[in-house]
Chain A
């Protein structure tokens, strides 16, 4: 449903421009994550739940400690969604 609708309005002046910009955004983010992000955070907690369909990991951890060299943060519940990439990036949401 969505793909046929997309084809209708995306191939417009506005749509094309926005798609180019989105591509640029993707590239910029990927290079930034690869090059500019240097620090490393470790986190550990107890695993409440995990899931792994379609190569996407979802974890729910409890009593998590985020440990960086400088500081320590404690959180009750963390949901982590992660996919494979060359440099193993991840997106975390609370």
Chain B
């Protein structure tokens, strides 16, 4: 990322400068300080950063010292903010490792949901926590900031609990959510040896709609729904875009299958929830979780499966009379691969996209070793 044109290329900066003055009802001289503070901070960060995270607008632009995950840092930021505006030196200690190079939608959503849950649980407690490390002499400034914090917290609270579009309140980074966003291995699956990337074929996910459902009513009124209670105790519903199938149970739990990406799976699950909602049930969207991901790819050469099963017998099982593919159970990551003589590989059992890519990177050199002729 180019370090020269800083401010225009940082959406966060733009966002901050725009929203800086407005949300704080108390602002007098403070917005100006926040702006210059932010500029200095960003200048410092530009020197340190390799990559501007494209998803950074996700984090709340309201409070500039958003980026400090460590409990100790808010103290230093508070101090530096109010005691000396020019302490850009303090931010050499700011740990930016949690800002991922690339963040998948799923991780972002999980992070968002996690942080949102944390926020909803600890709203008041944290706004009080944030007051604690403040230097005693500087009451006015910090309290204003914390009140702006709590204002934005309450906004979140009142907002739609299910909407992931509302940006989470990053200032609560005193607690776990930010620390739990681990620095990501690059999501672009660059394999050193080859340019083959496993394609995701199927994603299975579950979500809790959190209300009892009358399956008969759903089957009677919804489009594209089947309900045969003698055969299976759930409504089988399908939608065309994204092309998926959902099993909806009377407890309110739902399984969504057939999507080709994590985001599509989530979108499809939301569409089903909306259908159920439109039928009059108070459906919500809790605990969306991807349970399984299936990927496939082609190594483009034939493989000697017998050789592979001999050398990797503790991981492989190959019964050509039973099934033409070799079943390789990789330990780390815990993925099952179906390897065929033609060179096609199916990978399944992943909860994250990265596990599929990692498993393929692990198996590829092994397969190359068993290339036919």
Contact = CB atoms under 8 A, between A and B. Distances in A.
A53 B220 contact: yes
Interface string A43-60: 000000111111100000
B216 A53 contact: yes
A50 B226 contact: yes
B176 interface: no
A53 B237 CA distance: 12
Contacts of A53: 216, 219-220, 225, 227
Contacts of A50: 223-226
Contacts of B224: 49-51
Interface residues of B, number: 10
B223 A52 contact: no
B128 interface: no
Interface in A20-53: 49-53
Contacts of B228: 52, 55
Interface in B209-225: 216, 219-220, 222-225
Interface string B192-223: 00000000000000000000000010011011
Interface residues of A, number: 7
Contacts of B222: 51
Contacts of B226: 50-52
A71 to B, nearest CB: 32
A52 B219 CA distance: 7
Contacts of B227: 52-53
A54 B216 contact: yes
A92 B228 CA distance: 22
A55 B219 CA distance: 11
B86 to A, nearest CB: 67
Interface string B118-151: 0000000000000000000000000000000000
B216 A51 contact: no
Nearest to B222: A51
A47 B87 CA distance: 67
A46 B219 CA distance: 21
B247 to A, nearest CB: 14
B131 to A, nearest CB: 58
Contacts of A55: 228
B219 to A, nearest CB: 4
Interface of A: 49-55
Interface of B: 216, 219-220, 222-228
5 contacts: A50-B223, A50-B225, A51-B226, A53-B219, A53-B220
Given A52-B226, A53-B220, 8 more contacts: A50-B223, A50-B226, A51-B219, A51-B224, A51-B225, A52-B219, A53-B219, A55-B228
